[in-house]
């Protein structure tokens, strides 16, 4: 091995901005790492493009120059893309870069230089989408296609565009252990998963999405990192013992050394927008992002996103997943909020799911009444300060004057399917008419709808939890934890082994909707999304109201009205949902000057409506939509 090289004065004046292998002028690269407890840090640089393990003759050791606040840096000229490198702290074992942009050989092996700025973006004049236009399609790259890659996903974009969604949301695509994972056990937040196609594959996918008119959101995890290959604590105080999360040590946002940890996360936000042109970030489980400093990290994340969005010249949305029912996430900063663009509202899912399935386990114990669906439509949060039996305390707060478009709702998503013992989907629990009813509630509600991959055609394959840890102790802990999670429900013996390749394979989409039931459901989704684009009240609603209607026979229906004022007066859309298992008379005649735009039990949607069925009757779990005839599809 070469002897240690002394740092030059020029290399000691490197910019303090950012960490990782950062591109400089020409073919130069500046390596920069934060290791505040280290006496010295060495850069282990491979000769040529070798991917050999550091420590052998294929790597040379270069002492990095110390900088302010525990940073170390080194610059080299003539560095090719793919150059392998690693770090050694105080003569210790080699470790990949905490801010690695590329891990072509997995989580434990050396990092590689990736010149993300050199991608030739061709996006067809893409200008982004306003928040209110989002119809989100959540997908998992590894199971979305048989190949499980970004490039294979490009081949399905036409199907998604034809369906009518406007955005895809990628479950985490950062480097995780092995090749099978939901992605939330990531350990390299800057590196894109090698088995999916790496950073170049993701750039190709996003450019292709923009060319066909689809926005791209990525799911980012800023509350914890995974257990295997997690070397961050060796570099610095990335974690704190002040708080706990269900998935691992809490990230240090307000303890000693937190300034650089915060900068690490904010730089990650910038990377997604600057280098990958994403249209939004879905920030995972922000209720486990603990920060009691004077300025919350979520506010810094939003500010960084806004700066990069301005440079990019298009909107970028920051959406929080939270179970707190707390609108401080989206309140403006001048009112004490964090100013995020939108947040998830799981109450809509829980209200619809519990009512239609009858399930009352775990958090479903708080739900199951029809009036809760009405409240979820009208006020987004069912629990807005009300007592929660599941929590044995009051939960949440009111939404104030926030509109429905600030809340993302779903009837299925990766959590609500995958966190069932078998990962079974809604179609295995509900009758087809109930599925159609749930779809109508989702796509007619005044919120941002999220569709989970395959939901639109009633995919029969499950979406169980899966992982591929190489460490046998961590792998066994994952198995044991999964069984224990469902032990109180008596389902632990049926839980699929998350480590088994067969569990992963079982989740791959069939992409089959040839039957009348599955094809009909997809037709309904496509029709509702088509009309959603055409119906001005659904896209730009200024008012909405849902209410329950009970007839003399005890039947219950839900009436949803959406209106808008325009130069021509008020336009009105009315949807009536039969929430019961018996036919019932339409509780009102059609609105004046209105046409019947949709019957969910039409045979075109796989429904049971026959020619002899009266148009003023609703079949079990059927819904009917009225509106001006000009809103009818041609």
Q: Which pLDDT tens digit goes with each residue over 374-409?
A: 999 999 999 999 999 999 999 999 999 999 999 999
| pLDDT reported for residue 404 | 92
The backbone torsions φ and ψ at residue 518, rounded to the nearest 5 degrees and listed phi first, read: -70, -45
Report the C-alpha gap between 580 and 188 in whole angstroms: 49
Report the C-alpha gap between 245 and 252 in whole angstroms: 12
* Domain 11-117 belongs in CATH node 1.10.150.120: no
Extents of the domains making up the chain: 11-117, 536-631
Look at the block and give the residue holding tokens 């007592």: 387
Dihedral through CA 615, CA 561, CA 168, CA 367, nearest 10? Answer: -90
Topology agreement, domain 11-117 and domain 536-631:
yes
* Domain 536-631 belongs in CATH node 3.65.10.10: no
Report the C-alpha gap between 367 and 345 in whole angstroms: 14
Residue 49, judged by CB atoms within 10 A of its CB (0-12, 13-18, 19+), counts as: exposed
Residue 284: active-site member: yes
Number of neighbouring beta carbons within 10 Å of residue 601: 25
The β-bridge partners of 408 are 344, 448
| pLDDT reported for residue 628 | 83
- Extract the residue ranges of the chain whose pLDDT is less than 70: 1-17, 48-57, 489-493, 536-541, 552-554, 565-569, 589-590, 592, 633-634
Number of neighbouring beta carbons within 10 Å of residue 270: 16
The β-bridge partners of 192 are 174
Report the C-alpha gap between 407 and 346 in whole angstroms: 10
Query: DSSP per residue over 73-100, as a string?
Result: EEEESSPPTT-EEEEEETT--EE--TT-
Residue 162: active-site member: no
Q: Cβ(5)–Cβ(40) under 8 Å? A: no
Spot the catalytic one: 67, 228, 255, 321.
321
| pLDDT reported for residue 11 | 36
Report the C-alpha gap between 43 and 37 in whole angstroms: 16
Give per-residue pLDDT as tens, 54-106: 555 688 999 999 999 999 999 999 999 999 999 999 999 999 999 999 999 99
| pLDDT reported for residue 12 | 33
The β-bridge partners of 549 are 557
Spot the catalytic one: 76, 284, 291, 341.
284
């Amino acid at each position: 091995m070469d002897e240690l090289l002394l740092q030059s004065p020029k290399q000691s004046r490197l910019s303090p901005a950012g960490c990782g292998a950062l591109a400089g002028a020409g073919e130069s690269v500046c390596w920069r790492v934060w290791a505040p407890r280290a006496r010295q840090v060495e850069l282990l640089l491979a000769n040529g493009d070798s991917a050999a393990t550091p420590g052998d003759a294929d790597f040379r050791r270069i002492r990095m120059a110390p900088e302010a606040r525990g940073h170390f840096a080194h610059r080299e000229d003539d560095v090719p893309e793919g150059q392998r490198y690693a770090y050694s702290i105080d003569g210790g074992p080699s470790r990949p870069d905490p801010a690695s942009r590329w891990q072509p050989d997995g989580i434990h092996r050396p990092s590689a230089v990736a010149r993300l700025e050199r991608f030739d973006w061709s996006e067809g004049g893409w200008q982004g989408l306003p928040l209110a236009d989002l119809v989100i399609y959540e997908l998992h790259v590894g199971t979305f296609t048989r190949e499980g890659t970004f490039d294979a996903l490009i081949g399905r974009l036409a199907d998604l565009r034809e369906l009518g969604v406007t955005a895809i949301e990628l479950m985490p695509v950062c480097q995780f252990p092995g090749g099978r994972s939901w992605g939330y056990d990531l350990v390299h937040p800057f590196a894109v998963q090698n088995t999916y196609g790496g950073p170049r594959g993701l750039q190709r996918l996003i450019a292709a999405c923009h060319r066909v008119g689809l926005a791209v959101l990525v799911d980012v995890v800023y509350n914890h990192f995974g257990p295997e290959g997690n070397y961050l604590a060796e570099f610095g105080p990335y974690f704190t013992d002040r708080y706990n999360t269900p998935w691992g040590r809490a990230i240090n946002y307000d303890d000693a050394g937190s300034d650089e940890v915060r900068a690490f996360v904010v730089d990650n936000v910038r990377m997604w927008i600057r280098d990958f042109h994403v249209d939004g970030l879905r920030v995972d489980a922000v209720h486990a992002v603990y920060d009691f400093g004077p300025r919350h990290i979520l506010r810094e994340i939003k500010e960084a996103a806004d700066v990069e969005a301005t440079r990019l010249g298009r909107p970028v949305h920051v959406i929080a997943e939270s179970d707190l029912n707390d609108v401080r996430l989206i309140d403006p900063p001048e009112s004490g909020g964090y100013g995020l663009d939108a947040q998830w509202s799981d109450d809509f899912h829980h209200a619809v799911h519990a009512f239609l399935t009858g399930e009352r386990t775990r958090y479903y114990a708080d739900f199951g009444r029809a009036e809760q669906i009405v409240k979820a439509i009208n006020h987004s949060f069912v629990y807005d300060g009300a007592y929660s039996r599941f929590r044995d305390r009051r939960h949440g707060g009111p939404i104030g004057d926030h509109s429905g478009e600030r809340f993302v709702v779903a009837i299925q998503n990766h959590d609500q399917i995958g966190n069932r013992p078998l990962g079974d989907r809604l179609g295995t629990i509900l009758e087809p008419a109930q599925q159609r009813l749930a779809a109508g509630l989702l796509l007619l509600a005044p919120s941002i709808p999220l569709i989970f991959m395959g939901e639109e055609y009633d995919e029969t394959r499950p979406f169980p939890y899966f992982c591929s840890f190489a460490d046998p102790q961590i792998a066994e802990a994952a198995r044991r934890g999964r069984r224990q999670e469902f032990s109180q429900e008596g389902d632990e013996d049926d839980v699929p082994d998350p480590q088994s390749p067969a569990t992963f394979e079982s989740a791959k989409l069939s992409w089959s909707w040839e039957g009348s039931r599955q094809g009909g459901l997809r037709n309904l989704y496509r029709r509702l999304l088509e009309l959603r684009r055409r119906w001005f009240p659904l896209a730009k609603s200024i008012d909405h109201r849902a209410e329950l209607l009970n007839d003399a026979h005890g039947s219950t229906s839900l009436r949803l009205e959406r209106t808008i004022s325009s130069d021509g007066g008020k336009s009105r859309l009315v949807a009536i949902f039969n929430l019961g298992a018996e036919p019932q008379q339409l509780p009102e005649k059609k609105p004046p000057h209105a046409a019947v735009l949709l019957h969910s039990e039409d045979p075109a949607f796989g429904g049971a409506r026959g020619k002899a069925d009266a148009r003023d009757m609703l079949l079990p779990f059927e819904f009917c939509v009225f509106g001006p005839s000009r809103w009818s599809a041609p």
